[in-house]
Amino acid sequence: MIEVRSLVKRYGDTTVLDCPDLTLDGAGVTALVGANGAGKSTLLTIAGRLLEPTSGTVLVDGHDVTTAPSRELAARVAILRQENNLAVRLTVRELVEFGRFPYSQGRLTDDDHRLVDRALDTLELHEFAARRLDELSGGQRQRAFIAAVVAQDTDHVLLDEPLNNLDLRHAAQSMAMIRRLADEFGKTVVVVLHDINVAAHHADRIVAMRSGRVVADGEPSTVIDEPTMREVFGLDVEVTEHHGRPVVLHFLAS
């Protein structure tokens, strides 16, 4: 369970995030959507304890992310950021092995190796296992990072725009994988998404943000309507339906 408690992040006089209360619980995919600068990534990064809030906090399974030992949190929440440039050259297997670091502190046990193999299997990466990350395509690299998150085996997975720079096919594959994290592995996945329609189709819950605040929260069908879209994105759009899920025709907006 992830509980946001009166969370505020300010840079100087600018409040970039002001989230009094938000609870994410149970297996499923929650999408954070909103325009650029709405505070989605800020919220996610604070929950992943990579950024200090100005005030308030986030609890993960009751552990305060601003004070709990990093090692304790690493077994509960994994975060994958937008830029995944590593300072060192790793093979895919080495990267995935790092996913076990919170448990083994670098000395992998047989169990750890088994989980690494499982993660490589899950993302169909076995044939690339010995390849270096910088020799892979963007989509393959993204999969390798997701495999590391799978190997880390936390109940909570935070993904910051995992579809960035992926082509249509790889984006679809990644979203299917993210769905599996929730459905097969029972994880609470929070994902920042740019494309509202991807969120509408794949997420169980959508949290829409604007100017650092949550303006709508609920199932896709309840959140996505024309007035809310105008409020969130500042754009007049037409919303229609496809197989019971809302579709935003944002590309037709003028």
Partner 1 sequence: MSVDTEPIRGEPIRGGTFRPRRSIVVTAVIGVAFLIAVACFMTYDLRGSLSYALELRARKVAAMTLVGVGLSVATVLFHTVSGNRILTPALMGFDALYILLQTVAAYLFGTFAFLRIEVRVRFLGELAVMMLFALFLNHIFLRRTRGDVVLLMLAGVVMSGMFRAIGNLVARLIDPNEFVALQDRLFASFSSVDEQLLGASAVCVAVALVVVWRMRYQLDAVALGHDHASSLGVDVDRVTRVSMALVAVLVAVPTALVGAITFLGLLASNGVYLATRTFRHRSTVPAAALAGATILIAAQFVIEEFFAFNTRASMVLAFFGGIAFIALLLKEQRR
Question: Which positions lie near partner 1, rule CB under 8 A?
Answer: 48-50, 52, 69-75, 78-81, 85-90, 93-94, 97-99, 101-102, 105-107, 113, 116-117, 126, 129-130, 152
| DSSP string computed for 107-125 | ---HHHHHHHHHHHHHTT-
Residue 15 CB burial class (10 angstroms; 0-12, 13-18, ≥19): middle
* Nearer of residues 130 and 176 to partner 1, judged by Cβ: 130
* Nearer of residues 145 and 233 to partner 1, judged by Cβ: 145
Q: How far is the CB of 235 from partner 1 (least distance, A)?
A: 32
Q: How far is the CB of 137 from partner 1 (least distance, A)?
A: 19
* Nearer of residues 36 and 105 to partner 1, judged by Cβ: 105
* Nearer of residues 14 and 105 to partner 1, judged by Cβ: 105
Q: How far is the CB of 128 from partner 1 (least distance, A)?
A: 11
Judge contact between 207 and 177, C-beta under 8 A.
Answer: no
Describe the strand order of the beta sheet including 205-210 as a list of residue ranges: 77-80, 156-160, 188-192, 28-34, 205-210, 213-218
- Cα 170 to the chain's mean position, in Å? 16
**Which residues sit opposite 210 in a β-bridge?**
213
Torsion of the alpha carbons at 84, 87, 88 and 91, rounded to the nearest 10? 0
* Nearer of residues 89 and 230 to partner 1, judged by Cβ: 89
* Nearer of residues 62 and 69 to partner 1, judged by Cβ: 69
Q: Which residues of 164-195 are buried (b: 16+ CB within 10 A; e: fewer)?
A: eebeeebbebbbebbbebbeeeebbbbbbbeb
Q: How far is the CB of 192 from partner 1 (least distance, A)?
A: 15
Q: How far is the CB of 76 from partner 1 (least distance, A)?
A: 10
Q: How far is the CB of 129 from partner 1 (least distance, A)?
A: 6
